[in-house]
Chain A
Amino acid sequence: MKAPPFEWHRPATLAEAVASLAAVAPQDGRVLAGGQSLLPAMALRVARPPHLVDINGIAELGELRVEDNALRIGALVRHAAFHRPVAHGPLGALMAGVVRHIAHWPIRTRGSFGGSLCHADPASEWPLVAVVLGATMQAVSLRGDRLIDGPAFLRGPLETALAPDEILRAVTLPLLPADAHWGFEEVARRAGDFAQAMALVVLRMDAIGRVAEARIGIGGVEAVPRRLAAVEALVNGRLPSATLVEEAGRAAAAACDPMEDAPYRRALVRAVVSRALASAAMPQALAA
């Protein structure tokens, strides 16, 4: 299980990387980020890029900062950076909660936030986070920078809006207000395995405890992660209750369109959506 031969390019700056990728993209040259998806695919010889543009030497891509009320995540920020909250408030906690579902620690020390989005595995966690939280992707090529929003970025399984010569530079996630509540739930066969279904729910409540704004997304089931508008509409304006949780789960199961094994995946969607909603809406009540 040895990768086929390839030529390795290691640019020191983003400008060099863009130029280097532009030169090799026509021959199926690819970016190498954390390598935690690309290198196993090459070892199994299901991917055979003749050129790799290794972006690990580019400091700028590893930067992580809060600016303009948003979290700006350099494409190469490793999953493990999120083990501890990277921002005050709910967003940092949400990311720290979700990251524990991604693979395992030694994979998280290498695998990158941007790589996960570019790889666009339907069962990956970060793409779901990007879609639900309204992320903006910043891509760069010789043609300059462009911004792409989450749903437009993710085109299908292992397919994104990036052109072959484009590098994902950074992802911007708006900070969550301090009173936002979130819940994340995932079903995987074993610890660290890719999700068979997952749901992320973010809620804001009004003064009397009704849901003012719900964002409810699922991943691992359809070709790309997606917010379920019908379920959000069902939840908005209602007081959280066991009934609401149950209804939302059923509505989500009805609303989704699984790629495979529909009855089973629908059942899982019902489970993860109702549980994520419950933990967002009534953390104490349901913990008991």
Chain B
Amino acid sequence: MSVIGRSVPRLEDPPLLRGEGAFAADISFPRQLHMRVVRAEMAHARLLAVDVSAALALPGVVAVWTGEDVATIPPIPFRATKLKGLEPYCQPILARGRVRYVGEPVAVVFAENAALAEDAADLVVADLEELPALLDAAAPPRDFDATHATEPAILRKSYGDVEAGFAAAHAVLDLDLSIGRHSGVPLETRGAIARYDAASDTLELHGTAKKQHWNRDEIARLLGRSPTSVHLFEGHVGGGFGVRGELYPEDLLVCLAALRLRRPVKWIEDRREHLVATNHSRQQRHRLRAAVDAEGRLIAIDNVFFHDQGAYVRTHGARVADMSAGLLLGPYAVPAYRATGHFRLTNKTPAATYRAPGRYEGTFVRERLMDAIAARLGLDRVEVRRRNFVPVSAMPFTRPLDALGTDVVLDSGDYALLLDKALARFGWEARQADIARRRAAGESVGLGLGFFVEKSGLGPSDGVRMSVDPTGVVELVTGAASVGQGVETALAQIAADALGVDYRCVRVVRGQTNRIEFGSGAHASRVTVMSGSATHLAGLALRDLALGTAATLLQAPKESLTIVDGMVCRADGPALPIGEVARALAAGTKLSRERAVPGLTTEGWFHSDHMTYPYGVHLAQVALDRMTGAVAVEHYLVAYDVGRAVNPKLVEGQIIGGFAQGLGGALFEEFRYDERGQPLSTTLADYLMPTIAEMPPLDVLVTEDAPSPLNPLGVKGAGEGGTNAVGAAIASAIDDALGNKGLVTRLPVTPREVLRLLGEIEA
């Protein structure tokens, strides 16, 4: 029986359960210095001078740098993006001339211990002359600097005849919707430990994640070194969610310091820093118009949106806005579409991706629209969705749009089937009847839904190296990374299945740039699809090599052999441990010389030009407390088609965990600012992540009805479907409880807002 599709125990767990993990803060080197960042305390100001003398005078302080000291280092770059003109908006590693958000690094202190470094940082005085802060991305742009405005670019995507669509409309809907600022906020803050090894002239960076190879190349470039002299290492990672593993100013600063000060340099972000320094996400406002026919079918959508990028363009460039525009339409067939995205800077923490980036936002917008269509035309909310689905007969469905530089081609999916399964599982009909009874008794209760299409498996290429050692242990080296989702286990299962060994014999090496030359990291739910497919191919190739070699050793035809549980065997005859086969291929052996390359080892590569598109639906039942505005989520279902689940338990875990984050964004979490741009959410007592007590009864339905035709395993990514539609479904349910008037236009929906919508309090 194949190990793929089975919920086998995770390989990652034992050290984590024993407290033997190696997270960033757990890594230390002899003679290390501690870095502390001095951060701007105003949202927008001229930076006139920075006085470091008192800090430098503190015993134990080794160095203090300001922008002048790092002026030769270029600002942090961004990955390829279609939008032009973003370069002037990149973030310098230490501010010069102006500060643009509270939390921007203006100086760094290096000292013998962390507490001392913090003492010294308190003594650094930045002379700031406050400027007006721009906090609303929908407000007219202002000056970014002397020559640039705060709107670097407008993103445009369109197809079809939008004007004609509106001219022919039976009804036109006008919506104004916004999404608050949230972020991943992993439980482990960031950390970076750099060490320069003079003996081998290598620079090491520890505590890295997600995009090691790209980061290595950029660090090398910015510091003027060859990429082969820079190594990035990934240990345990306490959650990524999009924000960790991007290249941040602090990563460059520790590297530079290790080179200049010739001592290891350790930086561990504290939580207050994290909440103002690490990428934020989500904040957008959409002004959407839609034309529909009398049956509620979409004819055209014209969406103008404002993307609040915060103070600088970071490594993602304009990717979130790009996905908002390119993936907004989700499961629906829309004849004409136009998106105009105002990509704008504000005086807040820079923004980038957070789990289901652009889609959490877009699904909220699109599904609010579907509810609005139903309300306007007096149709059933479920029926409106059904009428607009891309039918299964149209798959693969090419949409004349692109996202992340690839054309949007929905690879497979039976949306109506999943919707039916979900409604049945949730008991939608029965619940509606029950809701009607409760309403009649005076309760404010409602049901909501949000259908969505995710995307996963961004190409173009991924490769792994796989080898078997003489003890029969398989080593799988991948350029992928892990941020705690169970990547090792899933890849080990795929490798074991292809090769014919126990998955527990597979050692997965990831996130080490010195072990493999190429890697795309872990993001965009790409690992299972891309690295998984490469692993599958490598495993098959390795199996073939092992069988061929064993055929010679056992003097048996290759076709008569198979590999089971690490033994190469013939139905009737002798068996050979796979480690023996590896030994027979060791360098210098006769067989290895015949093969030209020694070792039971191979590489597997997988290439893909298109993404895969998993899809799902969220269903919610809520009750509103008319006196306090509290929203009780009484029942919730996530139904998600992942094509094929490598490890169902891990898929379910991803969905439940992703749901909790989506719930935070729907009801609790928000980075708030005062009118001068001072952040108000700077502790975990202010940025409200759900505890177990906030979790509703949650049901998960994972289906495998639409395997992806784009890869040999049929898999699609599972990382983001639990998050994607939570805002949409909960907003829909709250709106239903309020009488389906389209009142819910903003996330998160706070109790205060609910009371206002209930008419219990004034604005």
A interface residues, Cβ below 8 angstroms from B: 1-5, 44-45, 187, 189-194, 249, 261, 263-264, 266-268, 270-271, 274-275
Contacts and interface: CB of A to CB of B under 8 A. Distances in A.
A193 B686 CA distance: 10
A190 B694 contact: yes
B115 interface: yes
Nearest to A104: B691
Nearest to A262: B761
Nearest to A264: B752
A193 B685 contact: yes
For the residues of A in contact with B, the DSSP-based class is loop
Contacts of B271: 1
A69 B180 CA distance: 54
A254 to B, nearest CB: 14
B761 A4 contact: no
A192 B691 contact: yes
B119 interface: yes
A261 to B, nearest CB: 7
A44 B625 CA distance: 35
Interface of B: 114-115, 118-119, 122, 270-272, 625, 627-630, 668, 683, 685, 688, 690-694, 751-752, 755, 760-762
Nearest to A5: B119
A274 B119 CA distance: 50
Contacts of A261: 752
B445 to A, nearest CB: 18
Contact of B761 (A3, A189, A192, A267): A267
Contacts of B693: 190-192
A158 B683 CA distance: 19
Contacts of A271: 625, 627-628
Contacts of A264: 629, 751-752, 755, 761
Contacts of A3: 115
B187 to A, nearest CB: 15
A124 B751 CA distance: 21
Contact of A2 (B118, B688, B694, B755): B118
A190 B272 contact: no
Given A189-B668, A267-B627, 18 more contacts: A1-B271, A2-B118, A3-B115, A45-B118, A45-B122, A187-B630, A189-B688, A192-B693, A193-B685, A264-B751, A264-B752, A267-B629, A267-B755, A267-B760, A270-B627, A271-B625, A271-B628, A275-B627
12 contacts: A1-B272, A2-B115, A4-B122, A190-B691, A191-B693, A263-B762, A264-B761, A267-B628, A267-B629, A270-B627, A271-B625, A274-B627
Nearest to A185: B628
A239 to B, nearest CB: 23
Top 4 A-B pairs ranked by shortest CB distance? A191-B693, A271-B627, A1-B270, A2-B115
A240 to B, nearest CB: 18
A190 B119 contact: no
B627 A190 contact: no
Contacts of B751: 187, 189, 264
Given A263-B761, A267-B627, A267-B761, A44 B272 contact: yes
B377 to A, nearest CB: 35
Contacts of A44: 272, 683
Nearest to A191: B693
Contacts of A189: 668, 688, 751
